[in-house]
């Protein structure tokens, strides 16, 4: 959510140099953080559904937090340090990017693009695409392993009423796809062609699937559960009842004050 808010507010201000660098860094960090948390969830799902016997998990959440927040911090900091702190300060005649290519002298920064506040060139490929590709491959491998395990266990169940239906397996697969960030595959498909129609279509699909990822996870893992809906309904009813009671009490108090005021006025007249 933080990444999307920063994206909406600051992505189109490339002329403000320092602000643009800050926006690019924060976007880089928070998107990597999201991917690291998706990898954590994939690992947790693998250990829960495949390994089952997890062993000692002392300070599991602390280690996961250190990985999910610390790894992106290191990657994003090194990227901005190398590009902004070193390559951008080289003399124009010898300025080269991370791949050794000579940089256009008219280009303002090797860190972010000239038209938007987002990673550009080798900083994008090395600092962002390679890390999320690694996460993506790991998550996809876990997705295959978990789905295979679920199908095999389902086939061994002898009681037909306890077997998972095709619909349940499909919902489970879609849920895993959302949680593990596999919808980002549409982003990689953008690199396959320069056709404008293709790029427009894939851009819309990529944007819709990924901006609605949180909504999908919420609906598939929470809203579908009858227990959750019942709890939410009861909570909403309780809040509504509490509000109605407070209004009623407030009205009652006002009525008492009106009676008291009227009595005082009558005594004063007498």
> Which sequence spans correspond to the domains of the chain?
2-154, 230-270
Nearest CA-CA partner of 60 in 73, 82, 41: 41
The predicted structure's pLDDT at residue 244: 59
d(CA 224, CA 219): 6
User: What is the DSSP code (8-state) at residue 49?
Assistant: I
The predicted structure's pLDDT at residue 1: 86
pLDDT digits (tens, 9 = 90+) for 183-218: 888 888 887 888 999 999 999 999 888 888 888 888
Q: At a CB cut-off of 8 Å and minimum separation 6, what does 14 contact?
A: 20, 112, 113, 114, 115, 116, 117
Q: At a CB cut-off of 8 Å and minimum separation 6, what does 31 contact?
A: 3, 128, 132
pLDDT digits (tens, 9 = 90+) for 114-173: 889 999 888 999 999 999 999 999 999 998 888 888 888 777 776 666 666 777 777 777
Question: Which is more confidently placed, 87 or 98?
Answer: 87
pLDDT digits (tens, 9 = 90+) for 210-241: 888 888 888 877 888 888 888 888 887 777 76
**How distant, in Å, are the alpha carbons of 20, 85, 132, 184 from that of 24?**
6, 15, 16, 19
Mean pLDDT of the chain: 80
Q: Are 136 and 142 in contact (CB under 8 A)?
A: no
d(CA 66, CA 60): 10
DSSP lists the bridge partners of residue 89 as: none
Question: What tokens were used for 58?
Answer: 């002392």
The predicted structure's pLDDT at residue 264: 53
The predicted structure's pLDDT at residue 106: 41
């Amino acid at each position: 959510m933080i990444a999307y808010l920063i994206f909406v507010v600051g992505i189109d201000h490339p002329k403000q140099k320092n602000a643009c660098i800050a926006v690019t860094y924060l976007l880089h960090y928070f998107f990597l953080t999201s991917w690291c948390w998706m990898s954590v969830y994939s690992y947790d799902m693998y250990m829960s559904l495949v390994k089952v016997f997890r062993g000692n998990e002392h300070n599991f959440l602390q280690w996961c937090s250190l990985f999910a927040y610390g790894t992106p911090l290191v990657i994003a900091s090194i990227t901005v340090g190398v590009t902004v702190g070193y390559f951008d300060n080289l003399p124009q005649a010898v300025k080269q990017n991370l791949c050794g290519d000579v940089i256009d002298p008219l280009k303002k920064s090797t860190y972010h693009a000239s038209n938007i506040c987002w990673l550009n060139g080798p900083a994008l490929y090395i600092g962002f695409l390679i890390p999320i590709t690694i996460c993506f491959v790991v998550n996809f491998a876990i997705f295959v392993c978990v789905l295979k395990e679920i199908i095999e266990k389902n086939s061994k169940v002898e009681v037909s009423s306890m077997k998972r239906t095709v619909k349940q397996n499909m919902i489970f697969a879609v849920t895993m796809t959302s949680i593990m960030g596999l919808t980002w595959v549409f982003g990689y498909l953008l690199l396959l062609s320069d056709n404008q129609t293709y790029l427009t279509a894939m851009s819309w699909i990529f944007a819709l699937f990924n901006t609605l990822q949180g909504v999908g996870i919420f609906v598939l893992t929470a809203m579908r559960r009858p227990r959750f809906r019942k709890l939410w309904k009861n909570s909403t009813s309780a809040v509504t009842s509490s509000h109605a009671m407070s209004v009623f009490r407030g009205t009652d108090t006002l009525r008492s004050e009106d009676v008291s005021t009227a009595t005082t006025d009558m005594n004063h007249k007498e």
